[in-house]
Structure 1
Amino acid sequence: MKKVLIITGGQTDIAFAEEVYKEYRPNLVITADSGLLTANKLGIIPDYAVGDFDSSDKETVENIKAKFEIYGKPIIKKFNPEKDETDTEIAISLSLSLNPAEIVILGATGTRLDHTMANIGLLYKIMQSGIKARIMDKHNVISLHDKDIVLKKDESFGEYFSLLPFTEEVRGLKIKGAKYELDGYILKAGSSLGISNEIVENNVFISFEKGILLIYQTSDVGLALSGKM
């Protein structure tokens, strides 16, 4: 199973990123723009580095180019800053061309809410390819689903989970095994009903008849990763 880690240019807690890298054990690492700097701090030579590098340290880029040559890695792919895709989307498109089984994205959240929202939207592009994907930061795991899902208590990343509709509505939503259960509910855009639920049984079963669902696993104190990646 080929697992891809994408490190993009948003805020990334280095200690958390290091833990993700050790737990996830990716087969390939792709950085997007200043995600290259995060990889450098982690001591990782990415397999691919993409982007316009308009926010990366030029000296670091040149140093890593040299390391690429030493380790025989693919050359850095540079794009014009005036382009139609973000660096993160370019990295995702590249990862999809490599036929991964799973993708984890770090650095996709942060101070730029427009980028955060766009990156969450990019999960749809991955989902359409039938590939499991998660955006992760120190406090959140974000995933997108068009099929039923089971959340296991012993594999839960945080103490809460929240459901939001990605489409205008999610019809026939059922939640069983959680503190707040639903049966055949229509979850509509603009509703906060699905926020801050809790797993109370061993498994939470989430099913729905139509629509696409965003699932957030969250923790105020920080995600628990050990043995769950």
Structure 2
Amino acid sequence: MIEPDFAFPYLQKQQFDIILAADRGLEFCYHYQIMPTYILGDFDSLSPEILNYYKENHVAPIREFNPMKDNTDTDIAFQQAIVLGSSEITILGATGGRLDHFLSIVQNLKTAWEKKIPAYIVDSRNLITIPVETSFEIRKEEQFGKYVSFFPLEKEVTSITLEGFAYPLDHHCLPNTSGGLCVSNEIVEETAHVSYEGGILLMVQSRD
């Protein structure tokens, strides 16, 4: 579910090279006069009038799919972004609606991670990613929100070290049964450092 008050200024600030409008995302583009690079989806939740506008005006290539398909519209858009050689992928409108769709998009992040492509789910309160590096830093002045949380996406994340955080860790094994151990941490130094040895680490930066 796209938040227009957040998404429109965010898109203006980021100035993405490619914009993929998937299904109802095209409605957002239409109302805010955003020019999509590609239009794709089954369009089962989009007003036919809006789709017809883009068809009649040949604004961008359109890939229309049967609603009875094996992939979600976001899956299709995500794969298109990879095919286009994207060096970074940002997904808007992934949160605030159905949790099954959200969880499938988290799996899309894993697909990007496997290809070493930074990918992000972003809304007004959260930035969610699987860092492609096993050692990285977060500058406090550049962080997305006040809180930083970490979750293992597989059995465990091994030897995770958090420095510059209110709740540091030193070569800790973070299992997928850790509950809230790494939830709502805060950066207390100018720069925080994160490193780990094995596993898949999901990071959420969030704000109230």
Give TM-score scaled by structure 1 length.
Answer: 0.87
| Aligned: 1:110 with 2:96 | yes
Cα pair 1:144 1:212 within 8 Å, conserved: yes
Q: 2:162 aligns with which of 149, 154, 175?
A: 175
Within a 5 Å distance, the mapping from 1:55-74 to structure 2 comes to: 55-67=45-57, 69=58, 71=59, 73-74=60-61
Deviations 1:95-153 (A, max 9, x none): 10111111111011122011111111110111112111110011000001252221111
Shift of 1:26: 0.5
Query: Aligned to 2:120, which of 119, 124, 134?
Result: 134
- For residues 177 and 24 of structure 2, the distance between their equivalents in structure 1, rounded to whole angstroms, comes to 34
1:197 to 185, 188, 203: 185
Separation in 2, partners of 1:148, 1:85: 33
Q: Which residue in the other structure is 2:85 paired with? A: 99
Question: Which of 51, 70, 75 is matched with 1:84 structurally?
Answer: 70
In the aligned structure 1, how far is the partner of 2:44 from the partner of 2:70?
15
- Higher mean C-alpha deviation, range 180-189 or range 125-134: 125-134
Name the aligned partner's letter for residue 38 of structure 2.
Answer: Y
Aligned residues: 206
What SS class does the counterpart of residue 148 from structure 2 fall into? strand
1:48 and 2:38 matched: yes
Please state if 1:19 is matched with 2:9. Answer: yes
**Residue 151 (structure 2) aligns with:** 164
Contact 1:31–1:49 (Cα < 8 Å) also in 2: yes
Corresponding residue to 2:108 among 106, 117, 122: 122
Structure 1: 5+ residue runs without aligned partners? Answer: 1-10, 221-229
Aligned-partner Cα distance in 2 for 1:97–1:160? 34
Question: Identity over the aligned pairs, expressed in percent?
Answer: 38
Cα drift, residue 23 of structure 1: 1.4
What is the one-letter code of the residue matched to 2:143? Answer: S
Task: Give the gaps of 5 or more residues in structure 2.
Answer: none
Task: Report the alpha carbon displacement of residue 163 of structure 1 after superposing the two structures with TM.
Answer: 0.4
Q: Secondary structure at the match of 1:205?
A: strand
**RMSD across aligned positions (CA):** 1.1
Q: Tell me by how many angstroms 1:175 deviates.
A: 0.1
Residue 190 of structure 1 deviates from its aligned partner by: 2.7
Query: Displacement of 1:66 after TM fit?
Result: 2.5
Give the match's secondary structure for 1:45: coil
Question: One-letter code of the match for 1:25?
Answer: Q
Give 1:65 shift: 2.0
